[in-house]
Amino acid sequence: MQRIVIVGPTGAGKTSLAEQLVDRRHLPAVDLDVLFWGPNWQPVGKACFRARVDGVTAQERWIVGGNYSVARDLIWPRADTFLWLLRSHPRQRREYPRLLAQPEHRHLQVLRFSGPRAVQRWVEEAEPDVR
């Protein structure tokens, strides 16, 4: 578990989970919103955003939180672990299983969490990284 993507709706706990994993796994984390938004909350543009995501996910170890489909082709194939906070939008609940079944994503270890308690139990039971 060295390259983790965390997906879920706004307010589901993506950032909180990433912060806990930073402490537990000693991985650098980035929220995709930070890469997407520029000054005065203006989007940076597709090419700039994708270049930023590419730079982060080209690293050996990372946690990325967010659901930007425009960068999915950069993130998911490079990830080894997919943490899905299931309180997702109905479209994601339909779309993600189909996408995760595609050959380029079958390598992912997919963990689905039904709520905050399930996430907390998993974090507490997860092996810490001893680096």
pLDDT of 25: 86
pLDDT class of 124 with cuts at 50, 70, 90: confident
Taking residues 37-58, report their average pLDDT: 97
Q: Where do the domains of the chain lie?
A: 3-125
Architecture of domain 3-125: 3-Layer(aba) Sandwich (3.40)
pLDDT at position 128 over 80: no
pLDDT at position 84 over 90: yes
For residue range 93-121, list pLDDT tens digits in order: 788 999 999 999 999 999 999 888 898 88
pLDDT of 90: 73
d(CA 100, CA 42): 31
d(CA 90, CA 109): 22
Let me know: does 1 contact 61? Beta carbons within 8 Å.
no
